[in-house]
Amino acid sequence: MTETTDAAEAAASTVAGAAEEIFGLLRASPAGDKPDDKPSKEPDPLRQRDSAASDKPAAAADDAPAGDEDQPAAEDAADDAAPEGASGDDAKDEPAEAREREGAAIAPPASWSAEQQANWSKLPPAMQRYWLARDSERDQGTQRALQEAAEVKRAAESERQQVAHHLQSLIPALQQQIAGEYADIKTMADVQRLADEDPGRYSRWRAKQDALAYANAEHQRVVERQNAEQKATFENARAEEHGKLAAAFPAEFGPAAAQKTYAEIGAYLLDQGFPTERIRSIYEAGVLKIVRKAMAYDRAQAKVKAKPAPETKPAPKLVKPGAVEERNEGGGRIAALSNKLGKSGRVDDAANLIEAMITPGRRAQR
């Protein structure tokens, strides 16, 4: 498979090198000397074929006698001059179609560089068609090589899975077989005694132990390779998804800010109760966009809550006209009665004080 891919790459390199050589010759020509301005010394096969196809019917028509009765013979001559498998009308239209193809602009190969495409119009039509064919052949070869590589990879993966499945069943069988046949072998002293007393049985035991060790090592190697491939697949997918985020939000996920943004997202998800292993496995651009919006919303809400609440002043109490004067008068009378009671200590002075204190409340109720 590697040889096929190398062959495709070598063919592409050869085509690109030949194109560069032709463009170098074109750039080396004097200014104003364009390849299309001078007639080519080499005959164009398409033009010769078109000319022959158009001249033969005309010659046949001139040689035929005039008259309606001889017209079928002229048409037969024109049909004979047409290419095999084509009617007379098709043969007459073919030169016009060929000239139309030559006059129409031919798009350069998409795989060519900008400089090569800029020089594409300097090539004659025949050379343009040649390079288009070569480029198409190269693309087809590359596609075949990629398909073959994919098939080889699928076959290797299928074989590896079969080996892993076989090892998973072989290892327990060997362990069970050794435990059943050599139950008396538990320590190194037992192994030494077996080697001394029964060399044949010891050889069989040793062979089974080696087979078990080899199977374990192979199984470990398969598992490590699968893990490495899974990790590589995950890293490639994550890089692709992170590239989408960098293109959509360069200020947050670009090269300069990506590390900080992903760290903030990880901390936010951890605060929301996500386990660390789950956070590490999140890489999809769509999921991270949702997390980004949720994190921005929570931050905005936190800022709103952090602002101090505006102070609310109590509304002024409405006082009816005359209430202040009554309150002042009642307060002065109560103070006077209180002083009098303090000096006399008489019961009637206490009664008067109590009556004065109750009187303003009754007036307010009225």
pLDDT bracket for residue 320 (50, 70, 90): low
Beta carbons of 19 and 131 less than 8 angstroms apart:
yes
pLDDT for residue 182 is more than 70? yes
Q: How far apart are CA 253 and CA 271, in angstroms?
A: 21
Q: How far apart are CA 330 and CA 324, in angstroms?
A: 10
Q: At what angle do helices 323-344 and 347-365 cross, to 10 degrees?
A: 170
Residue 114 tokens read as 């900008």
Residue 94 tokens read as 């073919």
pLDDT for residue 317 is more than 80? no
Q: Of 82 and 337, which is predicted with more confidence?
A: 337
pLDDT for residue 19 is more than 70? no
Beta carbons of 50 and 102 less than 8 angstroms apart:
no
Q: How many CB atoms lie within 10 A of CB 3?
A: 8
pLDDT bracket for residue 95 (50, 70, 90): very low
Residue 253 tokens read as 């996920």
Q: How far apart are CA 74 and CA 66, in angstroms?
A: 10
Q: How far apart are CA 39 and CA 218, in angstroms?
A: 71
Question: What is the tens place of the pLDDT at every residue in 20-63?
Answer: 554 554 454 444 444 444 444 444 444 454 454 445 444 444 44
Q: Kindly state the average pLDDT of the residues 289-294.
A: 94
Beta carbons of 58 and 154 less than 8 angstroms apart:
no
- In the chain, what percentage of residues exceed pLDDT 70? 63
Question: What is the tens place of the pLDDT at every residue in 183-239?
Answer: 999 899 999 999 999 999 999 999 999 999 999 998 898 889 889 988 999 999 999
